[in-house]
Structure 1
Amino acid sequence: MKKDVLVSVLGTQRNDVGETDTIHLVTEGRMFIKPNSYYIVYNESEISGMEGTTTALKVEANRVTLNRMGRSELKQTFEEGVLNESVYVTPYGSMHMGVLPSKVQVDLGDKGGSINLEYELQFDQRKLSDNSLLITVKEEHRFSELR
């Protein structure tokens, strides 16, 4: 089953000197409901700095896999306590990247919900920052459907 949804992504990045960067993106997307997982697909925008990139999230009970395709490419798995390394490909070059999640909390159902990720971000096997991602998914009700 497929549903139109509104996806809200709130990302926070805190470096080792305490500087914090926050980004908030709200966009339309699609949610695909499978027997043991959900897929959430949306297009990145200029706000995220990844215009021309599509993000797909495979959401399972204890694991979230992020797959970016297009101008930027990345496949990253978030599983509590498990270091996942990958190559992040951008128009400006490639980087070796890793995530070590301390929290992977999924509260998602057929009508939407949330995904809460907290993780250490690493570049070239060195800690870059502590990050959090709060992704909220809600069914989108179009005006024509309300009549």
Structure 2
Amino acid sequence: MKKDVWVRVKGVQRNERGEEDIIELITEGRLFRKEDSYYIIYRETAISGMEGTTTSLKVEPSRVTLNRMGASEQKQTFEEGLLHTGSYITAFGTFHMSVITSRVDVDLTDDGGSINLEYELQVGREKISDNKLSIMVENR
């Protein structure tokens, strides 16, 4: 099963002063299933600040793995209650980031659905922000 979909991404980042930064993106993507996992692939745009980057998500019932390739590169795993460390490679350098995920809510079928993640972002073991990431997948 492979299909063309709309991917709606909303990211909310709240720093320690309570200030929020919100990014919303709607783009074309592909949804497919392989064994017990779904995969979502889409291109980033200038809105996300990662133009020239392709994002793929491997979505399992209790774990989401993000993999970005191109102008920016990143691999990050989100799994409730666990700390996962990854790297974020940009034109400005490499950052070692960790996430402690407090919520992984996956409701995805062959027809689309949603993914909701909540996590703490750390760089060098220092908390940077609390984050919410919502991804909606709809038929195109």
Q: Same fold (TM over 0.5)?
A: yes
User: TM-score, normalised on structure 2?
Assistant: 0.99
- Counterpart in the other structure of 2:76: 76
Return the offset for 1:42. Answer: 0.1
1:130 lines up with 2:130 in the alignment = yes
Higher Rg of the two aligned structures: 1
- Consecutive aligned runs of 4 or more in structure 1 exceeding 4 Å deviation: none
Question: Percent identity over the alignment?
Answer: 64
Give the superposition deviation at 1:22: 0.3
Q: What is the TM-score with the length of structure 1 in the denominator? A: 0.94
CA–CA distance in 2 between the matches of 1:34 and 1:112?
15
Structure 1 CA distance, aligned partners of 2:44 and 2:25?
9
Q: How many residues were matched structurally?
A: 140
1:101 alignment partner AA? T
Residue 56 of structure 2 corresponds to which residue in structure 1? 56
Gaps of 5+ in 1: 141-147
Structure 2 counterpart of 1:73, one-letter code: E
| Counterparts of 1:7 and 1:57, CA distance in 2 | 11
The answer to whether the aligner puts 1:33 opposite 2:33 as a matched pair is: yes
Does residue 1:113 correspond to 2:110, yes or no? no
Shift of 1:106: 0.2
1:106-144 Cα deviation digits (max 9, x unpaired): 00000000000000000111100000000000111xxxx
2:8 aligns to what SS in structure 1? Answer: strand
- More strand per residue: 1 or 2? 2
2:13 corresponds to? 13
Give the aligned residue type for 1:24.
E
